[in-house]
Chains A and B, each alone.
Chain A
Amino acid sequence: MNTLFDKIWDSHVVSMIEDGPTQLYIDRLYCHEVTSPQAFDGLRARGVKCLRPERIFCMPDHNTPTHDQDKPIEDPVSKAQVDALERNAREFGLTHYGMMDPDNGIIHVVGPEKGLSLPGMTIVCGDSHTSTHGAMGAVAFGIGTSEVEMVLASQCILQQKPKSMSIRVEGKLGPGVTAKDVALWLMMKLTTSGATGYFVEYRGSAVRSLSMEGRLTLCNLSIEMGARGGFVAPDETTFEYLKGREYAPKGEAWDKAVAYWKTLRSGDDAVFDKELVFDAAEIPPMITYGTNPGMGMPVDGSIPAGAAQKSLDYMGFSAGQKLLGHKVDYVFLGACTNGRIEDFRAFASIVRGKKKADGVTAWLVPGSWAVRRQIEEEGLDKVGTPARLLRLPRDERRQDSRRQIQRLHQQP
């Protein structure tokens, strides 16, 4: 009771259906090409329009090529889905950031960077990693296609309220320990189903010390612990990040919004269904050795005895083995978890002045055009070797810098 989750959830309850689910108001719906076509078909069959088109934003970001985005999509199934989204957005009057639009990118990167995802909001999308937007201090979660149709039609969904969990990480994170290490460490402790049925609030001084990019990464990976979603209460870091963003409130409205956002915190008397406390100093840089993200260990550790043999066989590892010193085959930076500017700054700081070893394949994939532009502005693509790591040849990059954008196909 009196948790921030309760506050946001309860303030969006339109009605409690007697002997049934809750009707919850949704502030923001994001649609991508894979999980929306049947929902739009449903609206057409019912002869219904979108109730609040201004609250809905569409962009293809799953079934899309990582490079050569200016060329026609080769795979006919992908092309049909991407084309359908554009058609549907036009027909129903929704904002659509198409493939070559300067605002396109992975929804979970674009939403925060445009100020579309704001504190106190309810946010849904037909994608489990919608939990990412929880970093803004919002209740954000993934939904199915039939629920996408509900929101398109009524800006509401019918849901049972999940249980609440507090994960408090107190203290100072060690050198080289990032938000992703925190998430992998939590998964190692809790397993990939440890938070099933819960909505997680991340709290404590170590969480407060994370940048917005770090919080986005942490909340993104809530799903990998089985949680429905995860969020961080908004604070000065959040307000600083949001100020001046395209869709963030401006002027007097901004002051009013910040005053309200400051009230968005769990009460001192808040009671969670489950509470966990961890010491930040215990969290090391992490590495995974298996076939699910819960199979992690300290980067300098040894694969534990008792690790699933089937996974180890698949990976070609054995229990007791160290991974430090093991040859690297691939480097990948990107996706909705780590495709933001801070990730590229961290990468640049590591590779500056160094050369890529032969035999290493590297993919650096900014999560949006905006991230790509920022990389260029900061000259991160020119810190010695990273430019050479990009897959596209230099001359092609000079011809059209926008073609350099490379993105991961993020699965729903």
Chain B
Amino acid sequence: MKQKFDIIESTCVPLPLENVDTDQIIPARFLKATTRDEKFFGDNLFRDWRFDKDGKPRENFVLNTPAFGVKPSEGNRQILVAGKNFGSGSSREHAAWAIAGYGFRVVISSFFADIHKNNELNNFVLPVVVSEGFLAELFAGIAADPDLKVRVDVPAQTVTNLATGKSERFELNGYKKYCLLNALDDIDYLLEQKAKIEAFEQKRKD
């Protein structure tokens, strides 16, 4: 789950729907699990869109199509492109576990629900906020050419549609950027601060 970010250049999976909530990302019945088994959550990502009641794949859902249904790998289908207000609804972190578990590294949208955005960041999935225009052009581009590639440059904080060459800058706070570039989470960060913690304790004693 923890992995370094640098520059990702990959084809995408389009999900041109707005207000995709966390219950659609991972239905509530999968919250009973007591462990954080990535494969389990990844296998059940978008469960009720992907499979019918009998567990049979629904043919027309994007993750079941020949073009977009291949598992993400280096340079291939690592980027999910979703409509406005992605990840609304319940604050369940399981939604981010499912996206990470499936293998997505980046989600591009024009707006993310606040809590879900943080959950993605904490689980090493990068939420990239782009303008409405950039998003619309990207959806149109993928419809015309399923193998359109997008370049996400984390150090430079830019996202580029490689078909058109259009580029935008995205927001990322300095601390989280440091964590992503170095594959560190909050606890790793704190463990690195031991000298500072000891100095603080010493200063308090004096």
Q: Which residues of A contact B (CB under 8 A)?
A: 14-15, 17-21, 23, 25, 38, 42, 46, 48, 51, 146, 149-150, 153-156, 158
Taking CB as reference atom, which chain A residue is nearest B198? A51
Q: How far is the CA of A298 from the CA of B194 in the complex (A)?
A: 53
Contact B193 A156 (CB under 8 A): yes
1/0 per residue, CB under 8 A from A, across B48-76: the answer is: 00000000000000000000000000000
Stretch at the interface among B82-90, B104-112, B172-180: B172-180
Q: Which of B36, B176, B197 lies in contact with A154, CB distance below 8 A?
A: B197
Contact B173 A154 (CB under 8 A): no
Can you give 30 A-B contacts (C-beta < 8 A)? A14-B196, A14-B197, A14-B200, A15-B196, A17-B174, A19-B173, A19-B174, A19-B175, A20-B173, A20-B174, A23-B190, A23-B196, A25-B197, A25-B201, A46-B187, A46-B191, A48-B191, A51-B194, A51-B197, A146-B122, A149-B187, A150-B187, A150-B190, A153-B187, A153-B190, A153-B191, A154-B197, A156-B193, A156-B197, A158-B190
**Given A14-B200, A42-B187, A146-B186, A154 contacting B174 (CB threshold 8 A):** no
Q: A154-B187, A154-B194, A156-B190 are in contact. List 14 more A-B contacts (CB 8 A).
A: A14-B196, A14-B200, A15-B196, A18-B175, A19-B173, A38-B36, A48-B191, A51-B197, A146-B187, A150-B190, A154-B190, A154-B193, A155-B197, A156-B197
Query: Is B189 in contact with chain A by the CB < 8 A criterion?
Result: yes
**Given A14-B200, A15-B196, A51-B194, A158 contacting B173 (CB threshold 8 A):** no
Taking CB as reference atom, which chain B residue is nearest A158? B186
**Given A14-B196, A146-B186, A154 contacting B191 (CB threshold 8 A):** yes
Taking CB as reference atom, which chain B residue is nearest A19? B174
- Closest CB of chain B to A381's CB: distance in Å? 40
- Closest CB of chain A to B140's CB: distance in Å? 35
The interface size of chain B toward A, counting residues with CB under 8 Å, comes to 17
Contact B197 A158 (CB under 8 A): no
Contact B193 A14 (CB under 8 A): yes
Q: Is the interface of B mostly helix, strand, loop or mixed?
A: helix
A19 CB contacts on chain B under 8 angstroms: 173-175
B174 CB contacts on chain A under 8 angstroms: 17-20
A150 CB contacts on chain B under 8 angstroms: 186-187, 190
**Chain A CB within 10 Å — which of B176, B187, B201 has the most?**
B187
Q: How far is the CA of A202 from the CA of B201 in the complex (A)?
A: 29
- Closest CB of chain B to A268's CB: distance in Å? 26
B193 CB contacts on chain A under 8 angstroms: 14-15, 23, 154, 156
B201 CB contacts on chain A under 8 angstroms: 25
Contact A25 B187 (CB under 8 A): no
Q: How far is the CA of A153 from the CA of B174 in the complex (A)?
A: 23
Taking CB as reference atom, which chain B residue is nearest A151? B190
**Given A150-B186, A158-B186, A20 contacting B194 (CB threshold 8 A):** no
- Closest CB of chain A to B157's CB: distance in Å? 12
Q: How far is the CA of A38 from the CA of B34 in the complex (A)?
A: 9
Q: How far is the CA of A15 from the CA of B200 in the complex (A)?
A: 9
A149 CB contacts on chain B under 8 angstroms: 187
- Closest CB of chain B to A19's CB: distance in Å? 3
Contact B175 A17 (CB under 8 A): yes
Contact B175 A21 (CB under 8 A): yes
- Closest CB of chain B to A14's CB: distance in Å? 5
Contact B200 A25 (CB under 8 A): yes
Contact A158 B189 (CB under 8 A): yes
1/0 per residue, CB under 8 A from A, across B113-129: the answer is: 00000000010000000
**Chain A CB within 10 Å — which of B36, B122, B190 has the most?**
B190
A156 CB contacts on chain B under 8 angstroms: 190, 193, 197
Taking CB as reference atom, which chain B residue is nearest A149? B187
1/0 per residue, CB under 8 A from A, across B122-140: the answer is: 1000000000000000000
- Closest CB of chain B to A340's CB: distance in Å? 31
- Closest CB of chain A to B205's CB: distance in Å? 12
A158 CB contacts on chain B under 8 angstroms: 186, 189-190
A154 CB contacts on chain B under 8 angstroms: 187, 190-191, 193-194, 197
Q: How far is the CA of A150 from the CA of B189 in the complex (A)?
A: 10
B173 CB contacts on chain A under 8 angstroms: 19-20
A38 CB contacts on chain B under 8 angstroms: 36
Q: How far is the CA of A38 from the CA of B200 in the complex (A)?
A: 28
Taking CB as reference atom, which chain B residue is nearest A15? B196
Q: How far is the CA of A14 from the CA of B175 in the complex (A)?
A: 16
Q: How far is the CA of A284 from the CA of B191 in the complex (A)?
A: 51
B200 CB contacts on chain A under 8 angstroms: 14, 25
- Closest CB of chain B to A310's CB: distance in Å? 21
A23 CB contacts on chain B under 8 angstroms: 190, 193, 196
B197 CB contacts on chain A under 8 angstroms: 14, 25, 51, 154-156
Q: How far is the CA of A156 from the CA of B197 in the complex (A)?
A: 8
Q: How far is the CA of A14 from the CA of B193 in the complex (A)?
A: 9
- Closest CB of chain A to B172's CB: distance in Å? 9
